[in-house]
Structures are given as C-alpha cells and as structure tokens.
A and B are shown apart, each in its own frame.
Chain A
C-alpha cells in the first residue's frame, strides 16, 4: 500500500514537474548565470526549430547528471517565439523529457544582447556559454556528448588559473 502511494506521489510530482519555462529578459538571464560565484553555468542557446540544437539537447541533461555533485548548473535558453510557448515549447519539453531548466529569452532585438553574451557570436544557434564567476568560454558550434564534456572540463581548468 505504501509503495503504491509513493508510486502515485512520484508520478504526480514528475508530471507536474513538466516545467513551465520562465520568460526572461536578457538582464534577468545574465543575473541567473552570475548568481553564484562558485557555480559553473553551462548556458545553451537553442530553439525547437533548430535541428542541430535539438540533436545536442540530451547531452546537456547527461552532463548535468554526470556532474550532479559538482557546482554545475545547466540553463537551456530557448529562442523560440514567445507566441509558441504553450503550443510548441512546453509540449516539446515534455515529449523529450528535458530535465534541465529551460528559460525563454523574450528579447525581440537580438542585436542588443548577442555581443553581451560574446563578441565573437555571429547569432547562429546552437551556441553555448560556459561561465564561472567572471571567466567565460563561448562556443558557436554543435556538440557531441564527448565534445560538451571536454568543453566543460577545459573551462574548469582555465577558470581555476
């Protein structure tokens, strides 16, 4: 009986965890990835309509799982149109079982924030920013699982110096 109740509780929690992403401005996003000086934030810019982005998304959840004990936080920043939140993005997150936190960037003029993420960013996605306090490394590329892990570890090395 207890197991049954625990099972029900878990499934309810998991279902309600089908996350509703926060809508953030760029300032709010920046605050999120500079919140803790000791945490490494892996900030991925993606969209449901971007094939290469969708393909690499599971690698980010896997990274978070592998380094669950490390001060690592993965943020998946969706650039999907705001109008597609309920109809496209939320069902997509649920269908793919995405565990990491998804934020929706609501800025309409990307020109105002692209250079602030990285002056080398052309605006193409997928793109990933890895940042610890004031040290950041930026990648305008698609990652394989290994490439993402290596990028994270390489960043840790450079931010320790």
Chain B
C-alpha cells in the first residue's frame, strides 16, 4: 500500500513538474485561439502550413526590438516555404502599457508585420509552451500526430549585431525540417526580458 502511494506521489510530482516547465522538444504542442491584431481569434489550425515558427515577443523589450527585423525577415523567407511566423505577446498590458493591444496594432502597422501578432490574455498558452522570456521561439512541424516541437530557444547567436551572427538557429531548423531532417541544434538558451505577468 505504501509503495503504491509512493509511486502515485512520484507520478504526481513528475506530471506537475512537466506541466510547470512547458514543452520539450518532441512534445505535441496544443493549439490555441488567441486574439489577433485584426480583432479576430486565430489559431494554428487557421493557418495552412507545413509547420510554424511560434515566437513569444513583445513591443517593449529591447531584446525583442533588437530581433524585430529578423523576425519580420524570417516570415518573409520561411512563410512561402511553409513555415510562417506566429507572434504571441505574453505580457500583461496592465503591467506594461507599451505592450497593450492598441500598441501592438500600432507597432505591427508601423513595422509592416506580415504575420499574426496575438495577445495571450489568460496566459494559458504561454504557460503551456513554457515560454520564459522574450523573444522565445518554438519551431513546430505539422505531423499526423499533431504539431511536434522541433526546436526551442533563440533566433540566432548574436542579439546586438545581426551582421555578426554565425548560427541562424531558427532558419537552420526550418531548412532541416524542410529536407525531412531533424535540426542539428534543437535547443538553445538566450538572455531576454522576463515575461510580465501578475503574480497569482
């Protein structure tokens, strides 16, 4: 009896830990329906593609700003190949005014975003993915089983200087997946802004 309880508790911890941490490479990513800057709800099933470059990003973070053009360029390059960008703002606008829905619309228009820029109003999607900073990328591949997570992490290896980048992690991952291969680098870490969410 004690052994059963022990095993049960162990499983409970493992499940809780897994839920708390978010997706790992190989997991199936759940879909979502979040409000886009055009006011309509949008999810991955609404976008016909071979896969998706899901980017948790925002207006205010200097690291996100440093990558903004590169995110726009990624969509320009990869959307036509079947891997469009889907941007999600994980921040609470009450904590960061600059990341409000109106400001999201404005920025997307000013910078000419060609991809959805969604707001995660309940934080459920951010929690499910386990995004911890902005920017934070999850490259998904569409399979029979669902959207599998194939890469998690940074866009490339140099935030400050796009010209000095040696490894374009996301672009390389997409190219590998298009060839039917797995990305050479599946997981990287990077410095970024914390996600601004009200503490429960």
Binding site for B on A (CB under 8 A): 47, 49-50, 52, 79, 81-83, 108-111, 114-115, 121-126, 142
Query: In the complex where A52-B194, A122-B132 touch, is A110 in contact with B189 (Cβ < 8 A)?
Result: yes
| Contact of A108 with B157 in the complex, beta carbons under 8 Å | yes
| Contact of A79 with B191 in the complex, beta carbons under 8 Å | yes
What is the CA–CA distance of A123 and B132 in the complex, to the nearest angstrom? 8
Q: Which of B9-17, B42-50, B158-166, B175-183 contacts A (4 or more CB under 8 A)?
A: B158-166
The prevalent SS among residues of B at the interface is loop
How distant is A129 from chain B, measured CB to nearest CB, in Å?
14
How distant is B57 from chain A, measured CB to nearest CB, in Å?
14
Query: In the complex where A52-B194, A124-B194 touch, is A111 in contact with B132 (Cβ < 8 A)?
Result: no
| Contact of A49 with B191 in the complex, beta carbons under 8 Å | no
Query: In the complex where A49-B62, A123-B132 touch, is A82 in contact with B190 (Cβ < 8 A)?
Result: no
How distant is B164 from chain A, measured CB to nearest CB, in Å?
7
Which residues in A have their C-beta under 8 angstroms from that of B157?
A: 108-109, 111
What is the CA–CA distance of A52 and B195 in the complex, to the nearest angstrom? 11
For this complex, 22 residue pairs linking A to B, each with C-beta atoms less than 8 Å apart, are: A47-B62, A49-B61, A82-B160, A108-B159, A108-B160, A109-B158, A110-B159, A110-B189, A110-B190, A110-B191, A111-B188, A111-B190, A114-B191, A121-B189, A122-B133, A123-B133, A123-B189, A123-B190, A123-B192, A124-B193, A125-B193, A125-B194
Closest B residue, CB atoms, query A45: B191
8 Å CB contact of B189 from A81, A111, A126, A142: A111
Which residues in A have their C-beta under 8 angstroms from that of B161?
A: 108
What is the CA–CA distance of A108 and B188 in the complex, to the nearest angstrom? 14
Closest A residue, CB atoms, query B22: A122
